[in-house]
Structures are given as C-alpha cells and as structure tokens.
Amino acid sequence: MAKKDLRFNTLLVHGAGFKDQYYSANVPIYQTSTFAFENADYGAKCFSGEIDGYIYTRLGNPTISALENTVAALEGGYGGIATSSGMGAVTTIYMALLEKGAHIISTDAVYGPSRGVMEEHFSRFGVESTYIDTSDINKIKSSIRKNTKLLFIETPANPTMSITDLEKCFEIAKENNIIMVVDNTFSSPYLQNPIKYGTDVVFHSMTKFLNGHADVVGGIIVAKEKVIYDKLRVMMINMGCNFDPHQSYLVLRGIKTLAIRIERAQENAIKIAQYLENHPKIEWVKYPGLKSHPQYELAKKQMRGFGTMISFELKGGYEAGKILMNNVKVALLAVSLGGVETLIQHPASMTHSKIPKESRIKAGITDGLVRYSVGIEDVNDLIEDLDQALSKI
Ligand code: LCS
C-alpha cells in the first residue's frame, strides 16, 4: 500500500514514505549544508533539473523534504515548503503572490504581525490591504476590487476565535480569480483541511501544534497545485527563509503524537471553557465548542474538533486580567500556543500590541481579552489553578 493511501493517524506516525539506503526506521538528520556531486555532469544535471538530486540545503535537504512531504500529505496538497518561521511562510506568500498595485483582503483578527508586515512594509511597495470580519461573507464580496489578488483567511482567528466559512470563501475567490490562502495554525491538519474546500494555499506556524513541544520555531506552506507551489518554493529559496534539518527532525517527531496531544488537550479545553462560562467574574468566553459561540454550527461542519484555544474577558477588564495572569501557577504566562503545556497571555499588550488601538478594538481584540492555550496537563490542576487565581480578583 502506498503511504499516501494511509489513513491520517497512520500517516502521522509513518510519514509520507521516506526511504534511504539503510531503510532507517526514523528519518535521520542530514546535518549538511551541501551535497557532493559524483562528477561534473551529475552536478550540471542536478542544476538543470534533469536529475532530482540534492544540491545545497537552502534549496532542499532529505530531512526537510521528509517533513514537507508529510505535512503536504496531511493537508492533502501537491507539495510543502518548510520555512524558518510562521512569519517566514507569511512573507514568502505575500512576496510570491502579490505585485505592485495588488490588493489583499484579510481577516481583521489575523495574528498581529501578519497584518503588521502588510501595513508597515508591503504598503511601501504599493500593495493595498483591507481587513474585515471574514466570518461575514457579504463583507468579503463588497471588499473585492479589480486588483484583488489574495484572500487571506485565518480561521479560527487569533485571538478572537471567530470562524470563517471556507467553502463559501472559495466560491467567491474562484468566481473572482483570487488566490485563497488559509492560516491553519490554530487547527493543525488534524482538525481542519482547508484544501478540501478548495483553498489554494494553506500554511502553519509549525512552532505551535505541529511541533507541539515549545522547542522549535518554524513554518510550512502547502500548495494545492504545482503552478503556485513552484512560485512559492522559488521565493522561499531566494529570500533565504529555509528551515533546517535538525529542527525538521524535531517537528517530524512532534507530528507523530499530534492526534493524541490534540485529543487530550481538547478534552481539557471544553471542561475549562464550561468552567469559565459559569464563573461569576467572567464577562464572556469564546470557544468554538460552546453553544454560545456565534459560529458553533460552522465549526462543527468544517472542523473535526473544536481545538484547544480559548479567549475570555473578565468583568474587571485588563486590570482584573492582570491579577489573573500574575497569579496563575500552573499555566505559564507566555506567548505562543499549541504545545503540551498550558499558556496564558494578553493579546492587547503582547501578540497584537503593534496594531493601532482603534483597528484592534474594531477587530474584537478588546483591552481585557485573555488568551488561554490549553495543554495536556491534568484538567483538575488547570481548573484549580484558574480558580485560585480568579479568587484574587
Ligand atoms: N500565524 C498564527 C495564527 C500565529 O499564531 C503565529 C504566531 C504566526 C502565524 C507566526 O508564526 P511564528 O513566526 O511565530 O512561527 N503566533 C504567536 C502567538 O500567538 N504568540 O506568539 C507567537
């Protein structure tokens, strides 16, 4: 049976068919910057593309390829391109798929720097951008211009947890000849496969769920088809934001337990979300698995689970949130997410602090919003931890 025919959980463990001359059971770390050619003709053929050989690690490396092929198979795409970070993936996508005078429509509550790099830097090269609540399909339709080239969706969005309808978005993108890109970081391929709904390009900050152990920074792009894949790979190579073999090994190791990590953390997340929703000091909770979430039905339709990320606001706003963050003892007060350990952070002063206040509030990232990334610890310890910290408010 070809590896690509394997079911998702088996693919996680076995990867997408890596094989070397020793039949290594695990993908080895090819810690080399360059590859010697057997002779001059062989080298020339590698460069011309006649032979599919490795040349130089910025261009490709067997350990990195094993990771790229595995994630591409998990997402159901043509090919994967690993990058030095999630932001390396974002800038590679912008650089490869936009040009002077182009326009991009983006989810307003995207990860702060995905918006910041566009507004601060790409605007200098004449790229226009519009940020809207993409969970409202009509807003997407009315934002389309003649020069719109990219529809950039983050769902669930960081940190508002708002959810965008992937199927409807792709219909609009296709009708208008727009390339659709989805940041799938918050779901991982285990919970959501945007290519299934037509999406042209999917990417991840591998720093989060794919690696899952808070010891790697990395990104990966998966393209649905070869034409876009080729553009993205050339751009990644030329910008030099390649990934590296040792970290690829760590992510491949993390991927093997993706399913069981998410299953366990999700079990914790629903219990914590329900606990918070019933707490008198909490104003509101956003978790896609709560019936009170505005896109609960959509989450059920396009995701295979509700994930491990929770946002909430305390009745006392940021001041109350600060007391909570200063008093938790099990959850770490840290940015990032999607790891085995529970993290808590404050987007307005941390991950989304570079977005002008007015735009940030308009996108639903209020001053009092607290983001909680649920790990795989014992849920009773997590709830007791929140309980004692909330009692200090
Ligand atoms: N996309 C999303 C949804 C993210 O959450 C992040 C990082 C990125 C892209 C960028 O990935 P990186 O370059 O860091 O690998 N999110 C972070 C967060 O929420 N806290 O710290 C980093």
Type of residue found at 97: L
Torsion of CA 42, 48, 49, 55, to 10 degrees: 60
Over 60: is that where the pLDDT of 2 sits?
A: no
Q: In 3-state terms, what secondary structure has residue 88?
A: helix
First-to-last alpha carbon distance for the chain, in angstroms, is 58
pLDDT at 5 > cutoff 80: no
Averaged pLDDT of the chain:
96
Domains detected in the chain: 8-255 (3.40.640.10), 258-390 (3.90.1150.10)
| Amino acid letter for position 368 | G
CA of 336 to the centre of ligand 1 (A): 6
Report which ligand 1 atom has the smallest distance to the Cα of 208. 15
**What is the C-alpha separation between 362 and 133, in angstroms, rounded?**
9
Residues in the chain: 393
Report how far residue 213's alpha carbon sits from residue 207's, in angstroms, rounded to the nearest whole number. Answer: 8
pLDDT at 81: 98
Chain segment 37-47, per-residue pLDDT in tens? 999 999 999 99
Contact 219, 203 (CB under 8 A): yes
Q: Catalytic site residues? A: 58, 111, 183, 208
- Rounded mean pLDDT of 53-69? 97
How many whole angstroms separate alpha carbon 14 and alpha carbon 351? 35
pLDDT at 72 over 70: yes
pLDDT of residue 1: 45
Q: Which residues line ligand 1 (CB under 6 A)?
A: 85-87, 111, 114, 154, 158, 183, 185-186, 205, 207, 217, 219, 335-337, 351
Neighbours of 276 (CB within 10 A): 23
Tens-place pLDDT, residues 89-120: 999 999 999 999 999 999 999 999 999 999 99
How far is ligand 1, taken at its centre, from the CA of residue 177, in Å?
Answer: 28
Sign, CA dihedral 343-292-260-159, equals negative
Average pLDDT, integer, range 132-145: 97
Q: Which of 187, 208, 210 has most ligand 1 atoms within 8 Å of CB, for mutation?
A: 208
The rounded Å distance from CA 40 to ligand 1 centre is 43
The one-letter code for the residue type at 202 is V
For ligand 1, the distance from its centroid to the CA atom of residue 246, given in whole angstroms, is: 21
Q: pLDDT grade, residue 3 (50/70/90)?
A: low
pLDDT at residue 283 is higher than 90 = yes
Which residue reads 């209020």 in tokens?
366
| pLDDT given for residue 130 in this prediction | 98
Closest CA to 88 of 200, 204, 184: 204
Query: Is pLDDT at 8 greater than 90 in this prediction?
Result: yes
Cα–Cα distance measured from residue 295 to residue 189, given in angstroms and rounded to the nearest whole number:
20
Q: Whose CA is nearest to atom 18 of ligand 1?
A: 336
Give the rounded percent of residues in the chain with a pLDDT score beyond 90: 94
Return the ligand 1 atom nearest residue 350 CA.
20
Residue with the smallest CA separation from ligand 1 atom 19 is 336
Confidence class for position 329, pLDDT limits 50, 70, 90: very high
Q: How do residues 211-256 score in pLDDT, each as one tens digit?
A: 999 999 999 999 999 999 999 999 999 999 999 999 999 999 999 9
Tell me the per-residue pLDDT of 146-193, one tens digit each, with 9 for 90 and over.
Answer: 999 999 999 999 899 999 999 999 999 999 999 999 999 999 999 999
* Residue 89 Cα to ligand 1 middle (Å): 11
Per 3-state DSSP, what percentage of the chain is helix, strand, and coil (rounded to 5)? 40, 15, 45
**What are the tens digits of pLDDT across the range 312-328?**
999 998 899 999 999 99
